[in-house]
Structure 1
Amino acid sequence: MPTALITGGTSGIGRATAELLHERGYRVAVTGRNPESIARARRELPPEVLVVRADARVTADTDALIESVREHFGSLDLLFLNAGVFRPAPVSEVTEEAFDEAVDVNFKGQYFTLQKALPLLTDGGSIVLTVGIVGADRGAPGATVVAATRGALLAMLPSLALELAPRGIRVNAVSPGSTETPLYDKLGVPAEARAAMSAGIPFQRFATGGEVAEVVAFLASDAARYVTGQEVTVAGGLGLGLGG
């Protein structure tokens, strides 16, 4: 039975991926740091799914997480590094505290989770990084910090894929566009603003978490056994036109 660890897996895309993989026969562990989303996940996810409170900023939490996964699963076939924070703000208003949090969660925390999980990853396993369409070649006002920190994951993708290729471990990234997750509620984005955003997407709607989860599942599967070092954009055609 294949196994998967999903950071940031108690809500949104991470949770949708956990549900999909569980349906397909995976043993799944998810992490979160928000007490409400952790409690909800423990109530609503299948009881076989391991829900672990872990703050990606805290090395001791990561050590405890990996030990828990080792005890429950013994090894890992998929590591989905999905945890992240996004607090939009113009450059003039970004605080050092917000900057440090984004670096610690979006990049440093994911990097060291990967490092500590590597001994558990089976040869031929899969690592998937969540990046997002705002990065090196696309931008949005107020997104400088998330672009830099998520983009750092994308920048290391080719080197990481080459380094782990001798073990047959594939490393890829998924970059969602606008997706129906609790994030927009947390940010207080009103319905009319979401409608305007949808109008700018060729498919005229946001993605569902399940649609992004399907791509993650593909990258983890044998169907993608010869795919590594790639970024898959899941954005309904956003950014393809001459006007962006």
Structure 2
Amino acid sequence: MNRLNGMTAVITGGATGIGLAAAKRFIEEGAFVFIFGRRQEALDAAVNELGPNARAVKGSVSEPLDLDRLYAAVKAERGTLDIVFANAGTGSQLALGNITARHIDEIFDTNVKGAIFTVQSALPLMGKGGSIILTGSSAGTTGAPAFSAYSASKAAVRNLARSFAEDLKGTGIRINVLSPGPTATELAKAALGEDGIKAFGSMTPLQRMADPDELGAAATFLASSDSSFMTASELAVDGGLAQI
């Protein structure tokens, strides 16, 4: 079953982790994928892994001119765009009392400003049947010590989908949020170690962290016509962490 046959997708933050897992699934389902990220080495490795139906463009989602180059490349090679997965994100810990303007700017520039311009710049290439996916987080619903700026940015992403869905009325373009919980990406494994992976996993009712492929499968559902009556929704793939 090729649910995305002939479609063109853009995935920001697509060189590693959830983005790369989604790129693999999109291609398996018949899509042509452009991945976008800051690190050329990681982009090159991802394209080598993904094969001939993938392209890479280097840049930052917080720089509109970089996004213009991305979408110019999409238009030149594919003409139109069907799927946007605004997955690029960043986060770090600072507790109340130590929060700095730079900390806030770094997080909101990528997670909020980046999401806004990733979507806005894509719209001229999209039409009826298009699907936009924003990466949220269980942190956008729950509180966490020293994660206030990150959590607030993901709560903002959740509301972007609600507001953008109103703006997109009549276009036939859907927008939804995919909200992961703890996910065992390569970066998370390296940062947390085996004990950390177990500790974070124990926080969920399923007693484990997600595999990135599980998020890739959920992104494919939101990208495809299987979710054709969903817009402004949040799909939580968090092992129940933020649900109880």
Instruction: Render the CA deviation track for 1:43-68: whole Å, top value 9, x for unaligned.
Output: 32213201110111222111111101
Alpha-carbon contact 2:15-2:35 (below 8 Å) kept:
yes
AA partner of residue 202 (structure 2)? A
2:49 corresponds to 1:44: yes
Q: Does 1:115 align with 2:120?
A: yes
CA distance in 2, matches of 1:239, 1:220: 23
Superposed counterparts of 1:149-164, under 5 Å: 149-164=153-168
Q: Deviations over 1:115-151 (max 9, x none)?
A: 111010121211111001001x311112111111122
Q: How far off is 1:31 after superposition?
A: 0.6
Relative to total residues, which structure has the larger strand share, 1 or 2? 1
User: What is the distance in 1 between the residues matched to 2:174 and 2:19?
Assistant: 19
Structure 2 match to 1:214 = 217
Given the two structures, how large is their TM-score scaled by the length of structure 2?
Answer: 0.93
In structure 2, relative to structure 1, the CA distance for the partners of 1:102 and 1:80 (3 Å cut) is same
Q: Give TM-score, length-normalised by structure 1.
A: 0.93
Distance 1:196 1:113 in 2: 34
Aligned 8 A contact 2:184 2:197 in 1? no
Q: Distance in 2 between matches of 1:101 and 1:72?
A: 32
User: Which residue of structure 2 aligns with residue 178 of structure 1?
Assistant: 182
Between the two proteins, the alignment pairs up a number of residues equal to 239
Gaps of 5+ in 1: none
Aligned residue identity for 1:225: S
In 2, Cα distance between equivalents of 1:229 and 1:239: 18
Question: Identity of counterpart residues, as a percentage?
Answer: 37
In structure 2, how many angstroms separate the alpha carbons of the residues matched to 1:162 and 1:98? 31
Which sits farther off after the overlay, 30-39 or 119-128? 30-39
Taking only aligned residues, the RMSD between alpha carbons, in angstroms, comes to 1.5
Equivalent residue number for residue 202 of structure 1: 205
Moved segments of 4+, more than 6 Å: none
Pick the aligned partner of 1:239 from 228, 236, 242.
242
CA distance in 1, matches of 2:135, 2:110: 12
Deviation at 1:185, TM superposition (A): 4.4
What is the CA deviation profile of residues 180-228 of structure 1, one whole-angstrom value per residue up to 9, with x for unaligned ones?
1133246x32321221221221111111111111111111111111111
Contact preservation (8 Å) 2:88, 2:110 = yes
The alignment partner of 1:61 has SS state of helix
